[in-house]
Amino acid sequence: MASKNIIKELTRNKREVIIAFSSHSDDWVIGAGGTLAKYAQEGKKVIIVIFSYGEKSHPWLKEEVIQKMRSREAFHAGEVVDCEIVFFDLEEVKFEEGYKSKNIGQELLALLEKEQPTKLFTHCEEDLHPDHNAVHKITLELWSKLPSKHRPEVYTYPVWNPVNFHTKYPSLYIDITSTFSSKLNAIKAFHSQKFHIIYPVLLLLFRAVKDGIKIRKKFGEQFFRIR
């Protein structure tokens, strides 16, 4: 029964998979870019699921032009940190509607069952952006539908809030000293969102230093484990 042994061997040597959910094309970089880059560097397979192309910040451009631009930027950012990108085209602020009508839940469940990630990163509960909040809810709903032995650990990341006040859940701090520059380079891939460059770099620097202090490293990222 050589084939059975081969299958066993393959399962044992399966690369660890990490998945991150991101409402818009750049949220994952802002919230967890250093950590995801670090996991990729360690040889783990990192998949980013992006639900929407992003904020409509260019009203003078056609929607398809924006989508193309955003997806190109996201794929480029994915290359910078060595992650795979999966895109869905939900309309902003109407996430829940599109999610249901396009049956995205089924696709995501299939992805989670196929890849069996050990960790799943998502938006935090206290994030007031409706799309971020919708993805937070979607994550928990999907998680509860998975068979218990395939349920990953679930961690939340912040996007625009400089400090996270949630104290109910345990924190996970990751040393991102070696990948902080990749995180910044990934952010710079989003050329179409010029306003994104100055504010996030300062915010990211502030947060990375603050979270780094907690673990006595130069730079860190903090998450909350909610499941």
Contact residues toward Zn ion (CB under 5 A) are: 23-24, 27
In the complex, which residue's CB is closest to Zn ion?
A: 24
User: In the complex with Zn ion, which residue's Cβ is closer, 17 or 192?
Assistant: 192
Confirm if 75 and 85 have CB atoms less than 8 A apart: yes
The CA distances from residue 87 to 68, 72, 202, in Å, are: 11, 11, 28
Closest approach, Cβ 214 to Zn ion, in A, equals 25
User: In the complex with Zn ion, which residue's Cβ is closer, 164 or 217?
Assistant: 164
Rounded distance between C-alpha atoms, residue 67 and residue 101, angstroms: 20
Neighbours of 118 (CB within 10 A): 13
Closest approach, Cβ 150 to Zn ion, in A, equals 28
Closest approach, Cβ 129 to Zn ion, in A, equals 6
User: In the complex with Zn ion, which residue's Cβ is closer, 67 or 178?
Assistant: 67
Closest approach, Cβ 80 to Zn ion, in A, equals 19
The single-letter DSSP state of residue 192 is T
Nearest alpha carbon to residue 142 among 172, 166, 117, 164: 117
User: In the complex with Zn ion, which residue's Cβ is closer, 116 or 161?
Assistant: 161
